[in-house]
Structure 1
């Protein structure tokens, strides 16, 4: 039982790191640009399809990963320059409607290029097997690699935001875009760079998850909902908040789906316990979000907390 619990904790960390990669770009875009981007899940899908198609054509997962980053960043920069740039001064409702339209455009575009059938992506050979962890637990090397990749990205983003000139400009644009523009920062170029970075992170998340599930049209929408939950819990605009909230959401969701059916099995039959446990587990993340907002309305690491 201890090994089973440890395995579920690791699964929760892996899921949390995936959510962090997805939500980091989303919170960066919202914090700096004030833009509600419902199409962020479509960029996740673009990354997954680019990785699967490139890996299938070349036989190299690593080339597919590079293609995912490039395709998602290019798609992000393109829609920022052609569509989203016109929405910064508009109401959030206009942003929601426009980016929802982008979801439909991306979905039909991907379906036109790749067809309606799902693609499948295999992990690289060096990460295909299990790793023996302390305690005798055999855990998939690829899932451990996702946890490591999320940690590396988190450190990289912290250094980028806190230690580089681009990070200084990003923080300045987030604090006061008019003053930043008056000081000579090209806000248009800054916004394009921020959006491309956020899109690349979403594409990376999609590529990494593509080996754990089928790559198909619409795969970005379910994870987008959880990404919004992450940035609300962590605090809008906070990369640190997105990191810790993503781990919290990943662990709560995974452990809830694992533990609740077992707990209800002590009170009722197995079939009913599975149904009740699954239903409550799907609600658990939102209950946690509500509890956090009651105690800290701006999130765990919100600017006004």
Structure 2
């Protein structure tokens, strides 16, 4: 297809599968770079909240005619839907439509640094063998491999973005402090990488332009830091007392929350910076939280 301005360039059509927090932000910041944007949500109510896109409901069942038609014309597909206990819902429900998409040039899959095992705080990078400590992480590893295999079979570039802990507008320690939900958990030696959602969007956009980089790219900030330090810093910026420190061992946590502390590693982002050429707007939590306060 050609653009309507007669330039002869192919129409760029983006389909975002699982358009949640990160997908919506990418569309907000970069959606104008595409001629058309389609996005899915798991329910009609969630889909109704999506703005500036053609909406579809998709829960991992067979893609309906509208979504299949959008995928058939897609040049770029961003997959943000997590795996379930049956594998990847996108490949399961929309794999046939993707296999028949003749215009497809790029697929981006949003994964997690949770695929890396505990290293006791040592550094990992894209060459580190993923050996997840949790069932969730193991599912992610399997799905990453499935997407890379799909791309190889179809001859389409696939990039897997392994994301650190996501924060940004509406999802950050400032909001937690104001809402009374912030906790200052202390586990000796524990650090986490984080990443601002706008920097994720920049990484995805760069990946589209440099689709040969990777195919695995860690999307993380420059400074893995103890979680309690982030809470203390955020509290200081808004002039409130931080919550008291609580020892991780005695803290009341859900099994999910406790599982995040089972893996301690530092994640390098050299490929993000040097391969994709991304200059992080928020290289540490300090710049990111300060910007959110402003």
TM-score range (shorter-chain normalised) is under 0.3
Q: RCO (CA 8 Å, sep 6+): is it higher in 1 or 2?
A: 1
Using structure 2 for the length normalisation, give the TM-score: 0.27
Higher strand fraction (1 or 2): 2
Using structure 1 for the length normalisation, give the TM-score: 0.27
Higher helix fraction (1 or 2): 1
